[in-house]
Amino acid sequence: MQTVPAPEALKKRVDEIRTLDTREHEITFLTESWKAKVPWPEVRDLVDAFPEGRMTRQNLFALGRRAVAGNADDRRRLLVATLMWGYGERGGRSYTNAKRVLAVTSLDRKLEECAAAIGDADVRAAFSAIAGLSGYGIGYFTKYLYFLAREIDWRSQAAKPLIFDSRVEDKLNFIKVRWDAPLTGRRSAVARYLHYCETAQSWATELGLAPGVGGAEKIEQYLFEPDALWFDVYGEMRKLALAVLRDCADGSAGPHTHVAMAAMNIDLAHSLG
């Protein structure tokens, strides 16, 4: 399917994107909280393996290889690891969600079906196998697909899975790129996901990054990073805040704010392409 061209916001930052070391992308998590709040064997195994609470994508790639070749315990460990890595030190709902998804009676069967589909390079079937698991939304199960597939031989021309979480999608929405515009009719979750993976791979080629998932994952990581595109936003929001303060000081109905908002839309459109 046709994909839209890479947005100017990424073209302007391609040198920064190229320097990202995706394999060493590290997230820290709270080992003691995980042990106390989710007393499951998969959690104990992972805390023992990463006692300092540091986990890189490279570590998760290794867990993914074992999950494809191994047994139900290996696949469960990868699932929990994606929650640890995804939530990081925020913790948040990760503990509750981990307990919910680990308690799903059909979990082992679904993870086995997912691994088999990935082995066949069938991303649609893998997605469908684990979509809808309680406590394990698309932002996390696409991490599972990505880490499961990343290191295996891929006997397909289709794009390998990538992470597609809310932060990545929010950044794409922010820079106003309609990456899913080529999709017609009903845009199902799996259709959008498959097209996102294809689009990111196409952008990697266009930007002169490594072909396939090696370049596409750099784009995903850049969009995931909290500071990505931040300075564009910070400068404009600071102008808006100052305008609001002037309106408050003047006791006026907001003329400075209206002017600042109009200018912000123009400036952001220009700076982000």
- Tell me the pLDDT tens digit for each residue of 149-200: 999 999 899 999 999 998 899 888 888 789 999 998 778 999 999 999 999 9
pLDDT (tens digit, 9 = 90+) per residue, 56-86?
999 999 999 999 999 999 999 999 999 999 9
Average pLDDT of the chain, as a whole number: 88
For the chain, which residues make up each domain, given as ranges?
Answer: 8-224, 230-272
Is pLDDT of 223 > 70? yes
Instruction: Report the distance separating Cα 220 and Cα 171, nearest Å.
Output: 10
State yes or no: pLDDT of 205 exceeds 90.
yes
pLDDT at 256: 62
pTM for the whole thing?
0.84
CA atoms within 13 A of residue 18's CA, in its CB half-sphere: 12
Residue 105 burial by Cβ neighbours in a 10 Å radius (0-12, 13-18, 19+): exposed
What is the percentage of the chain residues whose pLDDT exceeds 70?
A: 82
Close Cβ partners of 203 (under 8 Å, ≥ 6 residues apart): 3, 6, 10, 216, 219
User: And the tokens for 176?
Assistant: 């106003």
Per-residue pLDDT band for 268 (boundaries 50, 70, 90) equals very low
Quick one: pLDDT at residue 239? 61
Give the pLDDT mean for 195-224. Answer: 96
pLDDT one-digit tens code per residue, 117-148: 999 999 999 999 999 999 899 999 999 999 99
Rounded to an integer, the average pLDDT of 106-113 is: 97
Please give the Cα distance from 258 to 211 (Å, whole number): 45
Percent of the chain residues past pLDDT 90, beyond the cut: 71
How far is residue 233's CA from residue 107's CA, in Å, rounded to a whole number? 41
Summarize pLDDT for 30-55 with one digit per residue, the tens. 999 999 999 999 999 999 999 999 99
